[in-house]
Structure 1
Amino acid sequence: MTRTVAGVIVDALGELGVRQVFGVVGDALNPLTDAIRTTEDIEWVGCRHEEAAAFAASAQAQLTDTLGVCMGTVGPGSVHLLNGLYDAAKSHAPVLAIAGQVPLAEVGSDYFQEVDNDALFSDVAVFRATITSPDQLPQLLETAVRTALGRKGVAVLTVPGDLGERELTTDRPARFSLNPPLSRPDDEAVRRAAELLDRSERITMLVGQGARAARADVLALADRLAAPMVLTLKAKAGFEGDTNPFQVGQTGLIGNPAAASALEDADTLLLLGTDFPYRDWYPEGRNVIQVDTEATHIGRRVPVDIGLVGDTGATVRDLLGRLDAPPAGSDGARDRSHLEKSRERFDQWRERQARLADPAHDKGVVGRIRSALDNRDHDIRPEALAAVVDRVAADDAVFTSDTGMATVWLSRFVEMRGERRLIGSYNLGSMANAMPQALGVQVLDRERQVVAFCGDGGLSMLLGDLMTLKTYRLPVKLVVFDNRRLGMVKLEQEQVGLPEFGTVLDNPDFAAVAEAMGITGIRVTDPGDLDSAVRRAFAAPGPVLLDVLTNPDEIAVPAKPTVAQGWGFAVAKVKEAVRSHGDED
């Protein structure tokens, strides 16, 4: 029996377990979307922008560790995929992008809308190829899928417009044979690492998302080493909460002083499943052991004394088996003062943060003084908004967050307890990711709560795909931090002494926009209404946009604030005040 190129691709993806494909229909994709129309295995999710489609597919891949699929048609349609695919690549998410192309005979003739896809995607894709003959299937598809899954990256398969309906001469089904190997590091390297840990007095662990599957083993190792555990942002889901007595939060610009001190006070750092990129936040002159599945990650952020290339869980279990056992009858050979000191600092910092997040904070003496300086319009504190959402959201909710201040408030005030998960553009740092990523997650499971922390700048960039939420009746809860600013850029400018420029956003009433689209919209301007509004939004059926006017001058103090940053901020505020006074004249 003969089969078409489009039919083979769609049938194979269905058998692989793909349940949705995201994209915008058009010309070269017509045979593929028609094949999806006639199958019961795959749902077509028509987005308003291909970038949103790529973000949605990437989010599915990150949440499930399986293949996400998106499509873009000839020329501009494929170009629009690019930013979302870069996010997938930087997040190590296995995504297959199927790109349309002009008819095969016209390739290379500068035909209408022609773009060289193999060149376009050369930097972002771990695999890219253009189908030039039906006989290349199913092998070319198999290679694309295996490469995306095996290397945890983006594969791009380009289909010329006149090939989708062509028939294959073979009826061989696609075979993907997906069995990832479990790798272990060299025994001698593990022995040396264990010896170094045994003779170290103060050990701090920096734990990333790559260790999430080995949570129990990692906690056992932290207990054995009496080591405080600093978490990367992507490791919040899996290692945060009261069931982890070792974690002290994040470091870096969005981090806290306790985590920074835990790293500085250590004599040995143990890095597990992390490629934390910010070199300035690694202390110098420490012993460093790094565990990662990728050899290329070892030592590229900080000099490493011992690199262990292998699966985190297997490696940690090997280390546990080689560490010296406590003396018989003792309560443990290792001094726990480093851990206890770090945890005490962390608890104190959390208490201070909780006071800031109290909606009644500005009514106290300190709060009134502070408000007179940085919140004269009595806008809602973003800390308070994030804290209320944390209390109201389900313990198995999936959170997404836009790059910028929305991520800062989520990292500090939303705890990834229970089965909560977190997805964001935390490697690429793109704007506009939270809403389309939430879209991709919600369509997988319409019963699971999905919460998007949206910046007003990010939301407005891909605003059209609010209609996708409405069209597919996806009950995403969009929490908009509406500070009328590109908040992170404003902060970056001010901390180096520049007055803010180009950051002010002339926003609409986002709740009214949502209502016009058929989505429940709730606008909050009074701090006293915050709690009830959040609860109403989360109780409402279907998609909801919660538009909260937050204070644009709120400052997120980094874990290690510098004198230069403080001075720069003061200078910027003087310049802004002078400029504002001059404008009034």
Structure 2
Amino acid sequence: MASKNVCEVLLDNLAHAGASHIFGVTGDALNPFLEAIRGDGRFEWFGVRHEENAAYAAYSQAALSGGIGVCAGTVGPGALHLINGLYNAKKERAGVVAITGQVAHKERSTNYHQEVNLEKMFDDVCGFQAIIHTAEAAPRLMQMAIQKALIEREVVRIELPIDVTEQKVPEIRKDFHFVTKPSAIIPPQEEIERAADLINQGKKVAFFCGHGCHGARDEIVELAKRIHAPITHTLKAKEVFDYDDGPVVGMTGLLGNPGGYHSVRDCDVLVMLGTDFPYEWFIPGGIEVVQVDCRAENVGRRTNVTVGLIGTIKETIGLLAPLIKDKSDADFLDKQKKRSSKWLEAMEEQGSPERTSKPLHPQLFAKAVSDMADDDAIFAADVGECTVWLARQMRMKGERRMVSAFNHGSLGSGLPSALGAIAQNPKRQVWSLCGDGGFGMAMQDFVTAVRYDWPLKVIIFNNSELGFVKMEMEVAGYAYNKNATHLQNPDFAEYAKICGGDGVRVEDADQVIPAIEKAAASDKPFIIDAIVTSGEFAMPPHIEIKQAWGFGLVKVKEGILMLKGDESQWGNWKDEIKALL
């Protein structure tokens, strides 16, 4: 058998780890790698228009599949473009393999054309970097990197210098072995018993669940039912728990509801399961806290913990549940369910098609998509106000999934994350929920969906504003700044058609449902250009005095600026008043 070169051995490693897609932009140092893909037959190379979008697509595939995602960029600037999307993967604990080129060894440290010290640049984002200096070292370095991405859910980088890529590997490990299933982690029995004692003593027990509860929903819901404990969850865990799941009351935090907020704030024992929720001011002091997480660094990071258990959620709950005594008092749960139900009714009203004022309320589109999308649809959400509508008007029933920059919070992630999702299964319905600001940062890769005939559905909440930033400014006491937050947008529906897709611009309430029906039926990439108000104000479940003071103070400042001749302030006021009506 003829010896394989470094690139061919890399493809063997990736294939054995379950990868079949690679997103990227090629260039000189990656050309041998592309040539190896051409003759392989196991991989599809998806050429995108920007490497950052390649990294987001790879993140999406890793997050949805539980396997690895793969992206690639060539030397210097091409590799650097990957970094923001890779940081999103890191923050979401998605196993992504980034393949980068590098200049030849003889040119290193000479300030050669496009030379960058990539090892130093990627040091923070990567859990491991395999720098391939020799063909002999390639197989084991590649295997170490890919194994870390697959099991430890880390971002890793494999560097291919141009003078090494086509070298023959003298000895290939013919029998590849990758550990593909992570191990369960079991806490000590005495600590499980301590946690059970605390929960048994509690009069008002609440569960606060994160994305780490994936695969353990049934066990958690069953235990919560037995002790009448409300289940509150993070935004990322919205795809794990639904309001129909018995004691589930929904989210807390800035995007949450009163039921979720008071479940956490008013309990005497809080059981935190698989969450590293960052907003510690939503977690009260003076209560008993049991925290379960598979990562030791998460335990006690956000609040004081009475008992910390290092363990995987499903297995830990399985050991804990038999020690928990049933409770008969359901008053605490009933009170939170009532709050949650009342809030849900309000969210239904906000999304009612009877709200016909123009520009339209964005909730109309979110609720209509939620009502009409497939039960196994995937939602790729950008950050900003569209995340609010996802959290409040949309339900994750059935086998629905969602991906976003939940922790990294980077604008522009919605469209490329959707590309990764639909590439995995073009027959599965994928919706990209974007603000006009976020879509504008990644819109060049709408043509990628056209190129590969992916029937992607994109909703652009078009309010000609960086709406969430505007809202943050006002709550902090800063007057409306049109130069900073206003956006000049094209007709996005026409843009879709120019790219080879299809689209429709929606300005009236009676056009919303027909537009969604047309998008769902389209076999082309489709954009709904949803013209919505910039005056919508997303109220958190609890208003702090500081927030109310900041918002009141900013209206005085805006009034003064208006009197001084700043007409943009009057326009902003009119939009906000109309949105409230």
* TM category, shorter: over 0.9
Structure 2 residue 403 is the aligned partner of structure 1 residue 409: no
Unpaired stretches in structure 2, ≥5 consecutive residues: 569-581
1:212 to 1:180, Cα distance in 2 relative to 1, 3 A: closer
Q: Which of the residues 522, 528, 541 maps onto 1:559?
A: 541
Q: Which of the residues 498, 505, 508 maps onto 1:526?
A: 508
Deviation at 1:574, TM superposition (A): 4.1
Q: Which letter maps to 2:315?
A: A
Match of 1:368 in 2: none
Q: Which letter maps to 2:355?
A: H
Q: Which of the residues 185, 203, 208 maps onto 1:201?
A: 203
| 2:285 aligned counterpart, secondary structure | coil
Q: Which letter maps to 1:520?
A: D
CA deviation string 1:21-60 (max 9, x = no partner): 0000110001111111112111000000000000000000
Q: Which letter maps to 2:235?
A: L
Which whole-Å CA distance do the structure 1 matches of 2:329 and 2:278 have between them?
A: 31
Match of 1:159 in 2: 160
Mapped contact 2:360–2:532 kept (Cα < 8 A): yes
Deviation at 1:109, TM superposition (A): 1.5
Which whole-Å CA distance do the structure 1 matches of 2:173 and 2:263 have between them?
A: 57
Match of 1:427 in 2: 407
CA deviation string 1:289-316 (max 9, x = no partner): 0000001110001110000101101100
Mapped contact 1:241–1:416 kept (Cα < 8 A): no
After TM superposition, list the pairs within 5 Å mapping 1:543-582 onto structure 2: 543-580=525-562, 582=565
Q: Which letter maps to 1:426?
A: F
Deviation at 1:570, TM superposition (A): 3.1
Mapped contact 1:212–1:239 kept (Cα < 8 A): no
Which whole-Å CA distance do the structure 2 matches of 1:498 and 1:45 have between them?
A: 44
Deviation at 1:251, TM superposition (A): 0.8
Which whole-Å CA distance do the structure 2 matches of 1:218 and 1:519 have between them?
A: 44
| 2:32 aligned counterpart, secondary structure | helix
Match of 2:345 in 1: 351
In the superposition, the TM-score normalised over structure 1's length comes to 0.94
Structure 1 segments (4+ residues) deviating >4 Å: none
* Count of aligned positions: 563
Match of 1:509 in 2: 491
Mapped contact 2:87–2:125 kept (Cα < 8 A): yes
Q: Which letter maps to 2:503?
A: G
Which whole-Å CA distance do the structure 2 matches of 1:216 and 1:83 have between them?
A: 35
Unpaired stretches in structure 1, ≥5 consecutive residues: 327-332, 363-370, 372-377
Match of 1:367 in 2: none
Mapped contact 2:16–2:178 kept (Cα < 8 A): no
Match of 1:251 in 2: 252
Match of 1:221 in 2: 223
Which whole-Å CA distance do the structure 2 matches of 1:185 and 1:584 have between them?
A: 62
Mapped contact 2:458–2:526 kept (Cα < 8 A): yes
After TM superposition, list the pairs within 5 Å mapping 1:376-455 onto structure 2: 378-455=358-435
Q: Which shows bigger deviation, 130-139 or 555-564?
A: 555-564
Deviation at 1:580, TM superposition (A): 4.7
Structure 2 residue 470 is the aligned partner of structure 1 residue 468: no
Deviation at 1:283, TM superposition (A): 1.3
Mapped contact 2:270–2:288 kept (Cα < 8 A): yes
Mapped contact 1:126–1:151 kept (Cα < 8 A): no
CA deviation string 1:94-120 (max 9, x = no partner): 011011100121112111101111101
1:437 to 1:218, Cα distance in 2 relative to 1, 3 A: same
| 1:304 aligned counterpart, secondary structure | coil
Deviation at 1:578, TM superposition (A): 4.6
Match of 1:365 in 2: none
| 1:166 aligned counterpart, secondary structure | coil
| 2:156 aligned counterpart, secondary structure | strand
Match of 2:35 in 1: 34
1:342 to 1:584, Cα distance in 2 relative to 1, 3 A: closer
Which whole-Å CA distance do the structure 2 matches of 1:24 and 1:462 have between them?
A: 15
Match of 2:91 in 1: 90
| 1:270 aligned counterpart, secondary structure | strand
| 1:239 aligned counterpart, secondary structure | coil
Q: Which letter maps to 1:86?
A: Y
Q: Which letter maps to 1:236?
A: K
Which whole-Å CA distance do the structure 1 matches of 2:504 and 2:239 have between them?
A: 28
| 2:529 aligned counterpart, secondary structure | strand
Deviation at 1:451, TM superposition (A): 0.6
Structure 2 residue 328 is the aligned partner of structure 1 residue 334: yes
Which whole-Å CA distance do the structure 2 matches of 1:470 and 1:584 have between them?
A: 42
